[in-house]
């Protein structure tokens, strides 16, 4: 049983945890996604049964060797491949029958794994929602992100999908991959918005972004504290634990912690996560002091400067939740001034009266409170504009460096006429047999297959979204493509 946060440990100490609000099926694609999925696979109920059926997808088998919680049969490696080397097109070509003769077999392998893990022996769904975790920037994670957009648009998944996407540091190649994928997601959202009403369940229900530089900054600041300065801290592991545990905690609370005032029901979380239809973020504030200033500053920090912070445009939000998990006997957290303060703080971001959602104050047997805030249905966050500018500057710098490294030989041109050496003359026989082709050049059939495509190889896949709405009653994966209908 995995307890990778103080809150999870306390929750299991004070309560029997035997259900979750949303039955997530979890898929981690690529090295980063595999690691986060492995955390979700480690979560279990008090009776020892797993909370989330989980799969790991990768083109590199060695990326999955060190996973601790995902069974080997659920580590899906696509044979004949050894990674994507920051090239998302490799993933797409794996499942493209115009490029790969075994594409249908690879798709069948993916579909079989999804069906086996997320349905029971009678073919009935055992999940309500699919959670896909990827690192945008790497080849495998980015490629699977794009592939899943195509599958969603084709009605492949019978449940809503939430993507958890981490954004890279300022590596030019990774930034380019990430920005292309986020742009693809954003265009998908625009098309989806035209075809689905506000309270419809959305095929692509949410995208939760995490910014690697922001998360690394937080871990470095924690490492500098007196309590942690002598501890070894790998920032990626700390960040992954925080992201996964926060989502798991929110999913545990509705069905396990009630209130003598306002309870947050499982159906409330199910609705929020299925209708938002754009970018979603979560703030988690641990509140140890029972005073209004600590309450206010903690909630503000959880939204402005946390692991999920990406400069979200809260004013564009369509959904929200505020869940104050409070100590059983702490009257401060029930006081009308405390409630008014929370309303005031949230109002700095968006007038919550205009949003779909609710506030709740469940109780637990602990000395401190935890406030969870969710805003969903938001437009593209500001961090994407910042990363776009970084990518532009890096690209210009690379071009400038290439120009600087050129050699000015104009001053030698006048001497050329008196020099008898001519590298183009036939005085020395060319024994190489023809022109040289770089090892990095794609073979011609691949180039031809890619010409009509855009982005990572699928063009405007959102054109296929029209009229295709999620039908959660359908217990098969594959939709109208026939991959899942045997």
Q: Are 386 and 338 in contact (CB under 8 A)?
A: no
Q: Are 245 and 7 in contact (CB under 8 A)?
A: yes
CA distances from 209 to 50, 56, 312, 389, 450 (A): 26, 20, 10, 18, 29
Residue 180 CB contacts under 8 Å (≥ 6 apart), including other chains:
88, 142, 455, 456
DSSP string of 441-482, one letter each residue: SPPHHHHHHHTT--TTTT-SGGGGGTT----TT---SSGGGT
Domain ranges (residues) in the chain:
6-269
Q: What is the pLDDT of residue 88?
A: 85
DSSP string of 312-375, one letter each residue: --GGG--EEEEEEEEETT-GGGGSHHHHHHHHHHHHTT--GGGSEEEEE--EESSSSEEEEEEE
Q: Say if domain 6-269 classifies as CATH 3.40.50.1440.
A: yes
pLDDT tens series, the chain, 486 aa: 788 899 999 999 999 999 999 999 999 999 999 999 999 999 999 999 999 999 999 998 898 999 999 999 999 998 766 656 777 888 888 998 888 899 999 999 999 999 999 999 999 999 999 999 999 988 899 999 999 999 999 999 999 999 999 999 988 889 999 999 999 999 999 999 999 999 999 999 999 999 999 999 999 988 766 566 667 889 999 999 999 999 999 999 999 999 999 999 999 999 999 999 999 999 999 999 999 999 999 999 999 999 999 999 999 999 999 999 999 988 899 899 999 999 999 999 999 999 999 999 999 999 999 999 999 999 999 999 999 999 888 888 877 665 555 554 454 445 444 444 333 333 433 332 444 332 222 343 444 444 333 322 333 333 444 344 434 334 455 664 433 333
Residue 285 CB contacts under 8 Å (≥ 6 apart), including other chains:
298, 299, 301, 302, 370, 371, 372, 373
DSSP string of 88-107, one letter each residue: THHHHHHT-TTT-TTHHHHH
Q: What is the pLDDT of residue 358?
A: 96
CA distance 359 to 53: 30
Q: What is the pLDDT of residue 485?
A: 39
Q: Would you tell me how many other CB atoms lie within 10 Å of the CB of residue 136?
A: 29
């Amino acid at each position: 049983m995995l307890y990778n946060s103080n809150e999870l440990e306390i929750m299991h100490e004070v309560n029997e945890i035997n259900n979750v609000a949303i039955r997530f099926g979890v898929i981690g694609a690529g090295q980063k996604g595999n690691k986060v999925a492995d955390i979700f696979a480690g979560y279990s109920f008090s009776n020892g049964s797993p909370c989330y059926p989980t799969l790991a997808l990768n083109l590199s088998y060695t990326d999955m060797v060190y996973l601790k919680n995902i069974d080997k049969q659920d580590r899906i490696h696509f044979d004949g491949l050894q990674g994507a080397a920051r090239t998302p097109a490799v993933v797409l070509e794996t499942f493209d029958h115009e490029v790969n003769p075994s594409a249908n077999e690879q798709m069948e392998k993916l579909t079989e794994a999804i069906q086996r893990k997320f349905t029971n022996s009678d073919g009935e769904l055992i999940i309500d929602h699919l959670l896909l975790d990827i690192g945008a920037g790497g080849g495998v994670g980015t490629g699977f992100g794009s592939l899943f957009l195509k599958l969603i648009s084709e009605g492949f998944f019978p449940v809503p999908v939430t993507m958890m996407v981490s954004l890279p540091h300022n590596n030019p190649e990774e930034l380019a991959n990430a920005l292309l994928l986020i742009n693809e997601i954003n265009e998908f959202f625009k098309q989806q918005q035209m075809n689905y009403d506000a309270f419809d369940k959305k095929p692509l229900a949410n995208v939760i972004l995490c910014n690697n530089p922001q998360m690394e900054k937080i871990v470095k600041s924690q490492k500098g504290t007196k309590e942690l300065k002598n501890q070894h801290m790998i920032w990626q592991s700390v960040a992954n634990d925080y992201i996964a545990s926060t989502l798991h905690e929110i999913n545990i609370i509705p069905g396990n912690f009630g209130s003598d005032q306002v309870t947050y029901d499982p159906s409330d979380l199910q609705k929020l996560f299925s209708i938002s239809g754009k970018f979603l973020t979560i703030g988690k504030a641990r509140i140890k002091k029972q005073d209004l200033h600590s309450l206010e500053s903690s909630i503000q920090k959880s939204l402005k400067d946390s692991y999920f912070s990406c400069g979200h445009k809260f004013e564009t939000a369509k959904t929200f939740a505020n869940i104050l998990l409070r100590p059983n006997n702490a009257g401060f957290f029930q006081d009308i001034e405390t409630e008014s303060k929370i309303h005031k703080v949230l109002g700095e971001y968006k007038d919550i009266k205009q949003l779909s959602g609710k506030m709740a104050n469940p109780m637990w047997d602990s000395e401190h409170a935890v406030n969870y805030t969710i805003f969903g249905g938001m437009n593209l966050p500001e961090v994407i504009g910042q990363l776009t500018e970084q990518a532009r500057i890096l690209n210009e710098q690379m071009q400038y460096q290439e120009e600087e490294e050129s050699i000015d030989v104009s001053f030698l041109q006048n001497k050329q006429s008196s020099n008898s050496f001519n590298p183009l003359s036939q005085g020395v026989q060319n024994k190489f047999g023809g022109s040289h082709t770089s090892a990095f050049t794609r073979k011609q059939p691949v180039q031809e297959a890619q010409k009509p495509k855009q982005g990572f190889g699928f063009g405007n896949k959102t054109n296929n979204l029209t009229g295709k709405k999620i039908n959660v009653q359908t217990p098969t994966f594959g939709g109208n493509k026939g991959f899942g209908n045997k």
